[in-house]
Amino acid sequence: MEEKQARLQRLKREKDAVILAHYYVPEDVQEAADYVGDSFYLSQVAQRVEAKTIVLCGVRFMGESAKILNPQKTVLLPDAAADCPMAHMADPARVRQVKAQYPDAAVVCYVNSTAELKMLADVCVTSSNALAVCRALPNRRIFFIPDQHLAHFIAAKLPEKEFLFNDGCCVVHDAIRAGDVQETMRRHPGAKVLVHPECRAEVTALADYVGSTAGILTFAQQDDANAYIVCTERGIFYELRRRCPEKTFFLVEGCSQTCTDMKKVTLDKVIAALEANAPQVTLPEAVLQAAKMPLEQMLALSR
Ligand code: 13P
Ligand code: SF4
């Protein structure tokens, strides 16, 4: 292990590379990364790093966002097959049809989406800025793609807006059911419930706190309870335990809470990607151009 870390450091220097990782990738990859964060933080970092190469340890849409924001940089995705199923859960033809039917609607696209979908959007959002960005939009009508659960969570907080919904969801968060959370609450009375907004409304209704992965981490760190039931992907436990070693964190009974795509990103693949300078994220020039505006708009509106 020691040897792998040393090899990685040497490769990083040789290739002028920086490693960005999401909280859901395996622990040793998070440990090896220069920056670890939620989707919003990773896109902010991707925009400001100076290194020639970005190794994006996460799923494809994260690598694509880094490339769209930095077309001149080399962006490596250690496993090209690590893809978020939800990113494909909106139909571009339907988005075009809704845009034609409601020309006054803003198309708000969760970053967990293909570059092709982002091209059709007015603005992108992540779970940590979706509420602020939707609130700041001048449009009353919002077509939110692809995640229905995040859309409903935000819509409930903005009664002045009219939301049009799409039926996509995260397969990992959608599988966390209220009955299982309630059973876990019975087993651990006093534990607070922390929920990602990609979860069903029946689960967010049970929460003491709802927020992005970064939000959940900050809440756990600042809150005075000592036990929590965590309703998001299990990779976050590494950072939760690192930041709050004295606290106890529980998974939901009977739920896998495992994103198989995030787990494809192993340390060996990170090293192999740096050695081979591949797989690289590449997108057609027209896509790079068209998908940039909604991402930059998100970064600007969140400042
Ligand atoms: P955040 O880290 O932005 O909360 O996103 C969660 C997620 O599902 C990323 O794939
Ligand atoms: Fe996609 Fe869900 Fe995995 Fe995140 S956790 S990458 S939203 S499938």
What distance in angstroms lies between residue 169's CA and the mean position of ligand 2's atoms?
9
CB of 169 shorter than 6 A to ligand 2? no
| Whole-number pLDDT of residue 303 | 77
pLDDT in tens, 269-300: 999 999 999 999 999 999 999 999 999 999 99
> Which H or E run includes 18?
strand 17-22
pLDDT in tens, 123-169: 999 999 999 999 999 999 999 999 999 999 999 999 999 999 999 99
Instruction: Report the candidate in 31, 53, 3, 42 with the shortest Cα–Cα distance to residue 214.
Output: 42
Of ligand 1's listed atoms, the one at least distance from the Cα of 233 is: 8
This prediction has a pTM of 0.97
Whose tokens are 């939760």? That residue is 240
| Whole-number pLDDT of residue 2 | 60
Q: What is the mean pLDDT of residues 57-61?
A: 98
1 pLDDT higher than 60: no
Pocket test for ligand 2, best of 64, 88, 170 (most atoms within 8 A of CB): 170
Q: What's 168's DSSP letter?
A: B
Asked whether the beta carbons of 186 and 192 are under 8 A apart, the reply is no
User: Considering every ligand atom, which ligand is closest to the CA of 265?
Assistant: 2
17 pLDDT higher than 60: yes
pLDDT in tens, 181-205: 999 999 999 999 999 999 999 999 9
